[in-house]
Amino acid sequence: MNLRLFRFIAAFVVVLAGAFVAGSAVPTTADACHHGKRLLPIVYVHGGSGSAAQYEGQAMRFASNGYPNVVRALDRVDESIQPYNEQMDDFFDAVMAETGDDQIYVVSHSYGSLLMKEYLNSSPERSAKVAKYISVDSASAGENPECPGNPEPVDCIGIYREENPNYMGPNTYRVALHGHTQCVTSEESFAIQYEYFTGKKPWTTRVIAEPPGQVEISGRAVYFPANTPVEGSTLQIWEINADTGHRKGSHPKKVIEIGADGDFGPVRVNGNKHYEFTLLRTDVDFETNYYFQPFIRDDHLIRLLATPADSPLLRITAKGPDHTAVVVLRYFEWWSDQDPMNDTLWVTTSSPAWDDDPDNPTPPTLNVLSNPLVATRSSFTLGIHAHDSLFALDSPMDKVSTLKPITYFQTSFQTGVDIWMPATEPPDGTITFTAEPRGDTTLAQTISIPNWASESHRVLVQFNTYFQETNQWPWWPWWHWWR
């Protein structure tokens, strides 16, 4: 049988099965039990410079398997605002109050594992809140073979890269060819997490589409990396053309005033459509435009990351009327120095105003990860700052794409690359980003945006951490599947 046909049939069967999960009733207390024990709420505690968004894909995978309790994630703020143990107390207690449980399961990553180790050791009352605990790829909390806890260790396991020498508790799983954050977000990691919490293997590691008109999303607008709310901002949600990224209609589908907590939603969207989120702030002279892949099932861990007005990130990012500045984000490391296991990120710009300019013709399609120095495996790169840079090596802002690293950004899970993406105000063309994940270039992901000018727009493009051929509800439209 043809491999693509086999994959299609297999994917169809998985999505069809998922239809029954998606359409099932809300679980009862009896439904939430496994081998006579209630399955508890799951809470994710992120590492340094992280947020709840890193657990977005895994939460949808748990839902795709019919997990009968909630999956939540904490956005930790700096300890100068509130001590970390108090933050976790407040969040854990709120989750248990929501579900009626007296314990939770916890997954923590990196620096978050150090904080969880200190939390669980701090008092019997805190230790008693956590029934099971997973430490993911920590350098600071995984060197002790004993699970943390007071007075007795909690039940725990570790999930670590094969090259990380540390471990957690008596059972540490090694995942091959994984990046630091990928250890949290991959399907291999999900399978381990699911089996540990439930005692059985997941029936799927895919994210299963729900009926497109029934999808609800929610999240928060927060400043990076502090995770403090972008209070007083306005969020617009626009439906856009999937091929061009340009808005459909002259009015947004939804306008939301962001309050003191930074929360927005829930909002009903269509899982077969594409959307732009526009964040309007009073403390900066630009708007921020966010682009995602379609929301194929309920998603409540969306985070709109905003840059504070006094951040050096804004000063270093080139600003002007004739080029676009974009951050391309994926919570699944980008690799550029692991040939043949490199990612590719193709960028194609079309702009009628620039296409025929003899002095500055529109660049050809370029792979911004073709330079091995841009996203080394050891740098744990999640966000790529892409723009025509004043600060790239030997490269002024000159309408030339050198694809050299912008060295300022090569820190804290970020990198930068010098690429000129011609822009106009208002935008007259399209910039298309196509990501091909390492290991399987057939599972390409594509997001298109207008060629916004960086003088008045900053753009964030976020790709999913799950890669699959089937991303639609099977009967919508029915001829898509049987043609």
**DSSP of 164-198:** -----SS-EEEETT--TTHHHHSHHHHHHHHHHHH
Cα distances (Å, whole numbers) of residue 202 to 61, 62, 173, 187, 249:
9, 9, 17, 10, 42
On whether the CB atoms of residues 85 and 23 are closer than 8 A, the answer is: no
Q: Provide the token pair at 327.
A: 């951050």
- Report the Cα–Cα distance between both ends of the chain, in Å, rounded: 19
Domain 3-198 has CATH 3.50.50.60: no
Residue with tokens 């340094």: 48
Closest C-alpha to 22, from 301, 211, 202: 211
* Alpha-helical regions (H) of 350-483: 352-355, 478-482
For the chain, counts of helices (H) and of strands (E): 10, 23
Q: Tell me, what amino acid is at 104?
A: I
User: Domain extents for the chain?
Assistant: 3-198, 214-310, 311-483
Task: Please check whether the domain covering 311-483 is classified as CATH 2.60.40.2200.
Answer: yes
CATH for 214-310, options being 3.40.50.1220, 2.40.30.10, 2.60.40.2190, 3.30.870.10: 2.60.40.2190
User: In Å, what is the CA distance from 362 to each residue of 338, 347, 368?
Assistant: 30, 12, 16
User: What does each of the 483 residues of the chain score in pLDDT, given as a tens digit?
Assistant: 554 444 444 444 544 554 444 443 333 333 566 555 799 999 999 999 999 999 999 999 999 999 999 999 999 999 999 999 999 999 999 999 999 999 999 999 999 999 999 999 999 999 999 999 999 999 765 555 689 999 999 999 999 999 999 989 889 999 999 999 999 999 999 999 999 999 999 999 999 999 998 999 999 999 999 999 999 999 999 999 999 999 999 999 999 999 999 999 999 999 999 999 999 999 999 999 999 999 999 999 999 999 999 999 998 998 999 999 999 999 999 999 999 999 999 999 999 999 988 888 899 999 999 999 999 999 999 999 999 986 654 455 789 999 999 988 988 899 999 999 999 999 999 999 999 999 888 999 999 999 999 999 999 999 999 999 888 887 544 433 332
The H or E element that residue 95 is part of is helix 84-99
Both tokens assigned to 326: 């974009």
Please determine whether the domains at 214-310 and 311-483 fall in the same fold group of CATH.
Answer: yes
